[in-house]
Amino acid sequence: MATKPKILCLCDNLASAGVPEGLQQDCELVMVSSPLRALAKFSMPGENFAGVFVASDKFAEAMRTGRLFQNDRILEGMPDGVVLMDADNNVQWANNRICRWAQCDDVVNKNFYELLGSPEILGPDFCPFHTALATQTPSNSTLRIGDNVFLQVHAAPLLEGDGEPQHLIVTVRDVTAEMLQQQKMAAIHQAGQDLSNLKPDEVFEMSVEDRIELLKSNILHYTQDLLHFDVVEIRLMDQKTGKLEPLLSVGIDPEPATRPLCADTKNNGVTGFVAATGKSYLCEDTTEDPLYIEGFKGACSSLTVPLILHDEVIGTFNVESPEVQAFNENDLQFLEIFSRDVAVALNTLELLVAQRANTAQESVEAIHSAVALPIDEILNEAVSVMERYIGHDSDVRERMERILRNARDIKQVIQKVGRTMAPAKAVPDTGMPRRTKLMNRRVLVVDADDAVRNDAHALLERYHCIVETAHHGDEAVYMVRNSSEVYDLIISDIRLPDYSGYQLMVRLQQIMEHVPLILMTGFGYDPGHSIVKARQAGLHPRGILYKPFRLDQLLETCELVLMEHLAALDKPV
């Protein structure tokens, strides 16, 4: 007996649908009540229909639904998945993309979530299908399958007449690449924040040197494990000279790692070009790139980005690979993002070094300030004793000379330790001139006021002067007479407890070939015309400081008198 052909009947009731009697006798009738269920029947494997009968009251609805899928070939070829789903999340129809994701040829009447392996719903809507049916508006969400597949679903209710929707049109898009990129960017940003971020108790336990090494280690760790770059070179730029100093180098050959480079577009390789222009550079093939200079033997491609802080290039970040075209635009974007945080972290490193220098310098200055005047008191007492014992007891004099030498050695040791603890190159440039003319010059300051003598140490020793002080004129004379080395400058108050400025100058001229004297006085105050007499006796015309005076006035006057003094003695400047 031959099998009867199947006819799909779209109607609510066969008896009242007006199905022709001959059709009922000669064919197998399969009834469905909605056009969507009819489409689902057509999609089911093994269902072969010879024709379709549509009741008159279902015709308009069938035409609307049919138009959704009349371009069936287009839907099948789409890169996105398309699903017709009922209110119970069961698939009524799906294109081939859904079948491939589900790894199943027969998806009709199966639960959508189960087909995809019960994926994790990431939101923003954690019930997208329910929401779309309840609100009759589209809803979106992201699904995660396994560890590294992400699908974005868009569910739109299919409105059927005046009743509540019972079906959804769901489009599914693979957004794995975008999600992984976002995750990597977030990880890179988090890595950047973690570069120099330590807990207070960790900081307390670590020295500055340890923190610097940890920062370098973290940069390398994230570069290798997160960005997967194994050959790394970071250089910092000296803002004054433009030199690119090596900071971190892994995988670069020793000679290129220490190669002198400057921020210049010519003859300084890709690194120099990037530092000079502030632009990233992707070298896809080193053999054909005119800028590339070999970093390691066998390098075939490189990627270099600038380290930028506050719109200023502070260095370069370079990675290389033995493969041609090993880096792409994504790698460039990731490295640029990471380099921003590296620049901030390296700036923190510089601040740490500067902080170390400043802290050490402040400590040394505090120690020196505490001992400077007491040591001067020792020197003053020692020379006074020596004056009394001249010609009487040579042994006592020798002992006092040793005391003088030891006291002066104490100050020099403190200064040397200070320079070791706070190297000049680590101290931020304050913009003040170095005053090299004053370096290592011996200065005697004579004033009865402790504050003036203390300030003299603090201000002049900042410019590497060797400062000693005296309370009054006689003490100053004793200091000059019993000093193993001559003073390059003598700065004195014009009114001392025992002498005027002019009288001190006359006394000093008796024991010095040339007196490099500077007098300090208040405006309009000149007892006994001391300034006039001193000038007549040889005081430099500009060797007067009127209180209160600025530091730059003191320094300029010191340099001026010093130069004349050296010229008078025919000594090199």
The DSSP bridge pattern shows strands 489-493 and 139-145 to be unpaired
d(CA 403, CA 236) in angstroms, rounded, equals 48
d(CA 483, CA 382) in angstroms, rounded, equals 11
The values of phi and psi at residue 175, to 5°, are -115, 25
d(CA 25, CA 352) in angstroms, rounded, equals 95
Q: Does residue 376 sit in helix, strand or coil?
A: helix
Q: What is the pLDDT of residues 71-129, one digit of tens each?
A: 455 455 556 888 888 888 888 877 778 888 888 877 788 888 888 888 888 888 888 88
pLDDT computed for residue 64 by the predictor? 57
pLDDT computed for residue 261 by the predictor? 94
E-assigned strands of 209-300? 231-237, 244-250, 281-283
d(CA 449, CA 164) in angstroms, rounded, equals 98
d(CA 265, CA 226) in angstroms, rounded, equals 31
What global pTM score does this model have? 0.44
Q: Which residue has the tokens 């990129």?
A: 181
First to last CA, the chain: 127
Q: Where does 121-173 have alpha helices with state H?
A: 128-135
Q: What is the pLDDT of residues 501-526, one digit of tens each?
A: 999 999 999 999 899 999 998 765 66
Q: What residues pair up with 512 in beta bridges, in sequence order?
A: none
Q: Does residue 512 sit in helix, strand or coil?
A: coil
pLDDT computed for residue 57 by the predictor? 67
d(CA 115, CA 376) in angstroms, rounded, equals 91
Helix/strand number for the chain, H first, E second: 19, 19
**How far is residue 491 from each of residues 170, 210, 487, 570, measured CA to CA in Å?**
92, 46, 10, 22
User: What does the block give as tokens for 190?
Assistant: 């988090």
Q: What is the pLDDT of residues 333-388, one digit of tens each?
A: 888 888 887 887 777 655 445 445 555 555 556 666 667 778 888 888 888 877 77
pLDDT computed for residue 440 by the predictor? 87
User: What does the block give as tokens for 343?
Assistant: 């620049």
Q: Closest Cα partner for 252 from 349, 167, 318? A: 318
User: What does the block give as tokens for 333?
Assistant: 């974007």
Q: Does residue 418 sit in helix, strand or coil?
A: helix
Cβ–Cβ under 8 Å, residues 19 and 13: no
Cβ–Cβ under 8 Å, residues 356 and 334: no
Q: Closest Cα partner for 32 from 109, 133, 113, 132? A: 109
Spans in the chain with pLDDT lower than 70: 1-2, 34-47, 49-51, 56-79, 160-162, 180, 183-215, 224, 226-227, 348-370, 389-393, 414-434, 523-528, 571-573
Cβ–Cβ under 8 Å, residues 518 and 538: no
pLDDT computed for residue 558 by the predictor? 93
User: What does the block give as tokens for 17?
Assistant: 């649908």
The crossing angle, in degrees rounded to 10, of helices 176-194 and 208-225 is 170
- Annotate 474-497 with three-state secondary structure: HHHHHHHHCCCCCCCEEEEECECC
